[in-house]
Amino acid sequence: MKCTRKETQLDRLKVENVQIDQVRSFSYLGAAVNGNNTLEEEIRERIVKGIKHSMQIKLFLKASWCPGNPN
């Protein structure tokens, strides 16, 4: 991956006759890394994960078997 703000072509890389795929972005230790050095994708992923988890917590708290639920 080349980290630059300019639009570039993906290079072909071979190691011992094995083609290595080059990507424009990937996830490393839970963080989104991209070749443009921007955080938009990282922020978007965190918002989506936050919404997903908040919905799961809401469903858990509404469950009839959940301690503290008055139903």
pLDDT one-digit tens code per residue, 7-59: 666 667 788 888 887 777 888 887 778 777 778 888 888 899 999 999 998 88
Integer-rounded Cα Rg, in Å, for the chain is 21
| Predicted pLDDT of residue 23 | 78
- Evaluate whether residue 68 is within a structural domain: no
- Evaluate whether residue 7 is within a structural domain: no
Confidence band of 69 (pLDDT split at 50, 70, 90)? low
Domain that holds residue 44: 13-62
Spatial neighbors of 14 by CB under 8 A, at least 6 apart, are 20
- Evaluate whether residue 43 is within a structural domain: yes
| Predicted pLDDT of residue 47 | 93
- Evaluate whether residue 35 is within a structural domain: yes
The residue length of the chain stands at 71
- Evaluate whether residue 3 is within a structural domain: no
Q: Contact at 8 Å (CB) between 63 and 70?
A: no
| Predicted pLDDT of residue 33 | 81
- Evaluate whether residue 1 is within a structural domain: no
Q: Contact at 8 Å (CB) between 35 and 2?
A: yes
- Evaluate whether residue 25 is within a structural domain: yes
Domain count, the chain: 1
